[in-house]
Amino acid sequence: MHRLRRTLLVPLGLGLALAAAALPVSPIAERSAAPAAEPPTVSAGHVAGATSQPARISGGTLRTGAAPIRPPAPADAPATQLVSGSVDRASIRMSATYAAALNLNFGTRAIAVDTTITATNTSGTSVDRVELNTIAARLGGIRLGTVSVDGRAASASIRDQTILVPLGGVLPAGATVKIRVAYRATLNGDLAGSNWLFTRTNGVASLYRWLPWISRETAFTRPNHGDPFVTPASPRVTVRITTDRPLVLATTGDRIASSGLSQTFEARNVRDFTVTAAPDFRTGSRVVGNTTVRVWYRPGFPATTALDQAVRAIGRMNALVGTYPYRTYKVVQSAGGYAMEAPGLIWLPTGVAPSSLPYLVHHETAHQWFYGLVGSDQAREPFTDEAAADFLARYTLGSKRASRCSTARLDLTIYSYSSACYYETIYIQGGNFLDDLRSRMGSTAFWKALRAYVSANRYGMATTKSLLDTLDAHTSLNLVPRYEPRFPRLY
């Protein structure tokens, strides 16, 4: 179990942040001169006293993570676009790039993260705070290090799975701010509860949502396995991962550089950045259209079946909802727990029964469209995410079935459904509801509507209402009477 810790910024952090800001600017990718072979300085044994230490994740270098993607402002320009005042407001509508360094000690399970977020306020109104999501705050015993805003120390705090960063002023609409966040945490050694999302077990390190990401404060605890997350897509994420030993890494990004024990990855238009690592991962791949489907697996994993199913799923879904947008589709054996989606990547748990793979692979592949491309508030509107994905999976597999729970409304949050009926209601009843609409509208109109919905919300955020309204707009039938009893919050 990991205690939640509230940590205020230590004064030492300011000096380090300023020192880092004064260093020459160069993108992470060009840092081959960094001490790549040096192992992380953290270890699990340092956990207790680490709170008051500044972030120093890469031996003697402070350049780690202090890598602005944008060029620095001229010396005579204002150093910040913040103005004085307060509005007590955050927004998820921020366009943010992430430049991060991740040190992963596979042996001790210790990780150290140092990220610089360059965020532009696209909300149309002023904000004075950002709410960053990371499950390290709930599952990894997070200890915050340096947190700064435009080079000035910020007194960040942690609440649930959110790092709250006051900007120290008001960020007007359209203005940009640079937020640096460093932390240390420890991966779990088991799969219990939600630990499988942040663990090193069965010879695999699985890191889900370790990178603090612009979000809206959202409760992590839920009575089921629902995804308690909401994250907008980022145009660019660059991550340099340094490990304590040679590891094969499967990440949301594509590898753009490698030097010693450091590997750098870049991803575009993604809404999370998942890392999976094992010393003995093998890979295999096949090409579908313009997409390379690649599987990462350890000996004993049913990799051929997983690859076959992924190739089939991508091909079928491309035809129904539009072409998969990333160059590579990664099918990765995770430490265990559940199957899970990330943009351009899915996890299949260690120990999965080969007979479960067709469904699991199709369901997670469907999330490439309904989550990856079209984002939504997974916590507050799980129908938008899971019903659409499960419908597409079961449609392409021909595995529609009846629900084992009584008919219920489909417009509630993940927090409102019981463990026994969350899946049966949102996935099964939700998927069947969409399939019923397909029957009534006719397949041609239905798939045309779904492609229009995907296209209109590409890399954006959609809502349940926008999905249902789009379907309604593509038929001469009036679907609203069908919506009313199942979505009383919306119709």
In which element (H, E) is residue 226 found? none
Q: Output the smallest distance, CB 215 to Zn ion, in A.
A: 19
Cβ proximity to Zn ion, 213 vs 229, nearer residue = 229
Q: Which amino acid is at 449?
A: A
Pairing mode, strands 152-153 and 143-149:
antiparallel
Nearest to Zn ion of 153, 389 (CB atom): 389
Site size with Zn ion, rule: CB under 5 A: 2
Q: Which is nearer to Zn ion, 169 or 372 (CB)?
A: 372
Letter for the amino acid at 297? Y
Question: What is the smallest separation between the CB atom of 143 and Zn ion, expressed in angstroms?
Answer: 32
Residues 356-415 that bind Zn ion (CB under 5 A): 386, 389
Listed residue (377, 380, 369) closest to 459, CA to CA: 369
- Confirm if 427 and 387 have CB atoms less than 8 A apart: yes
Bridge-based pairing state of the strands 282-288 and 291-297: antiparallel
64 three-state secondary structure: coil
Shorter beta-carbon distance to Zn ion: residue 131 or 390: 390
Distance set, CA 322 to CA 400, 453, 456 (Å): 22, 10, 12
Number of Cβ within a 10 Å radius of residue 338:
16
Whichever of 386 and 472 has its CB closer to Zn ion, that residue is 386
| E strand or H helix that includes residue 251 | strand 248-251
Cβ closest to Zn ion, residue 117 vs residue 389: 389
CB of 454 to Zn ion, least distance (A): 16
Q: Alpha-carbon distance 491 to 480, whole Å?
A: 7
By C-beta, is 341 or 472 nearer to Zn ion? 341
> Closer CB to Zn ion, residue 99 or residue 366?
366
Tell me the closest approach of the beta carbon of residue 389 to Zn ion, in angstroms. Answer: 5
- 3-state secondary structure labels for all residues of 237-267: EEEEEEECCCCEEEECCEEEEEECCEEEEEE
CB of 371 to Zn ion, least distance (A): 8
Report d(CA 110, CA 187) in Å as an integer.
6
Instruction: For the CB of residue 260, give the shortest distance to Zn ion in the complex, in Å.
Output: 37
Restricted to residues 187-206, the positions that interact with Zn ion (CB under 5 A) are: none
CB nearer Zn ion, residue 241 or residue 346? 346
Sheet of 198-201, strands arranged across: 198-201, 204-207, 275-278, 248-251
CA distance 236 to 271: 10
Q: Would you state the structure tokens that stand for residue 416, as one six-digit string?
A: 């409102």
| Sheet architecture: strand order including 345-349 | 282-288, 291-297, 328-334, 345-349, 340-342
Measured CA to CA, the distance from residue 128 to residue 352 in angstroms comes to: 45
Smallest gap, in angstroms, from Cβ of residue 233 to Zn ion? 18
Smallest separation (angstroms) from Zn ion to the CB of 137: 23
Site for Zn ion in 306-345 (CB under 5 A): none
Q: How many CB atoms lie within 10 A of CB 341?
A: 22
98 vs 422, beta carbon nearer Zn ion: 422
Identify which of residues 225 and 255 has a Cβ nearer to Zn ion in the complex: 225
The CA–CA distances, whole Å, from 443 to 140, 434, 439 equal 46, 11, 7
Report in angstroms how near the CB of residue 388 gets to Zn ion at its nearest: 10
Which has the closest alpha carbon to 42: 26, 30, 58?
58
* Nearest distance, CB of residue 431 and Zn ion, angstroms: 11
Of the pair 67, 135, the CB lying nearest Zn ion is at 135
* Token pair listed for 121: 């306020």
**Residue 168 Cβ vs Zn ion, minimum distance, rounded to whole Å:** 39
**Cα angle vertex 420, ends 417, 422, to 5°?**
40
**Site map 87..126 versus Zn ion, x via CB under 5 A:** ----------------------------------------
Measured CA to CA, the distance from residue 406 to residue 344 in angstroms comes to 35
- Minimum CB distance to Zn ion, residue 369 (Å): 12
Using CA atoms, how far residue 240 sits from 132, 147, 259, 272, 351, in Å, is: 20, 19, 10, 15, 30
Residue ranges in contact with Zn ion by CB under 5 A: 386, 389
